[in-house]
Structure 1
Amino acid sequence: MFDAATTALLRAVLDEVCESVSHREIGARTNVASKILEAATRGEVRQVGRDALSRAPTMWR
């Protein structure tokens, strides 16, 4: 789907957006990753990730 460089960039964005989220919070991180992937072709990837995290159910945070 994406080349290696783009995949690395998207991973970095996910890590940046979720820096305060435990790696054990798989649901929250998966939700954010999904939104980032959806936005990857539209731009505004970081903002979409932050929006997804802020709207995640509190049990995910």
Structure 2
Amino acid sequence: MFDTETTALLRAVLDEVCESVSHREIGARTHVASKILEAATRGEVSVDDLKQVGRDALSRAPTMWR
């Protein structure tokens, strides 16, 4: 779906946005990842835009995910 460079960018954004989220909190990380992927699929590939999408997704995640 995405080239190697874009995939690496998406992973880096996810890791940065979720740096304070435990790797065990798979639900929260999955929620953020899906929102980042949705944005990238719509053509949003700016690092700043993707980080904002990820931060927004994390802040809106149900509290049991944080």
> What TM-score, normalized by structure 2, do the two folds share?
0.86
Larger deviation: 42-51 or 10-19? 42-51
Larger deviation: 20-29 or 38-47? 38-47
Q: CA deviation at 1:40?
A: 1.1
TM-align CA RMSD: 1.2
Q: Secondary structure at the match of 1:40?
A: helix
Q: CA deviation at 1:58?
A: 0.6
Mapped partners of 1:14, 1:31: distance in 2: 10
Mapped partners of 1:46, 1:59: distance in 2: 22
Mapped partners of 2:62, 2:41: distance in 1: 26
Structure 1 unmatched ranges of 5 or more: none
> What TM-score, normalized by structure 1, do the two folds share?
0.93
Larger deviation: 47-56 or 35-44? 35-44
Aligned length: 61
Structure 2 unmatched ranges of 5 or more: 45-49
Larger deviation: 39-48 or 22-31? 39-48
Superposed CA deviations along residues 6-56 of structure 1, whole A, max 9, x for unmatched, are 000000000000000000000000000000001114466110100000000
